[in-house]
Amino acid sequence: MSQYPTAALILSAAHERQFPEDSGTEVAFAGRSNSGKSSAINAITGRRALARTSKTPGRTRLLNFFLLAPGCRIVDLPGYGYAAASAAEKATWAPMTTALAQRRSLRGLFLMVDGRRGLMAGDEGLLDWATGAGCAIHVLLTKSDKLKRAESRIQLVATQRQLGARASVQLFSAMDGTGLEDARRQLHHWFKSAAATAES
> 12 vs 142, which CB is nearer to ligand GDP?
142
> 53 vs 193, which CB is nearer to ligand GDP?
53
Shortest distance in whole angstroms from residue 7 CB to ligand GDP: 17
Q: H or E stretch including 109?
A: strand 106-114
> 26 vs 114, which CB is nearer to ligand GDP?
114
Shortest distance in whole angstroms from residue 172 CB to ligand GDP: 7
The residue ranges that bind ligand GDP (CB under 6 A) are 31, 33-39, 79, 142-143, 145-146, 173-175
Q: Are 138 and 108 in contact (CB under 8 A)?
A: yes
End-to-end alpha carbon distance in the chain: 31
Shortest distance in whole angstroms from residue 174 CB to ligand GDP: 4
| Burial group, residue 21, by CB count within 10 angstroms (0-12, 13-18, 19+) | exposed
Q: Are 35 and 117 in contact (CB under 8 A)?
A: no
> 97 vs 142, which CB is nearer to ligand GDP?
142
Q: Are 117 and 32 in contact (CB under 8 A)?
A: no
Bridge-partner residues for 72, per DSSP? 25, 69
Shortest distance in whole angstroms from residue 76 CB to ligand GDP: 8
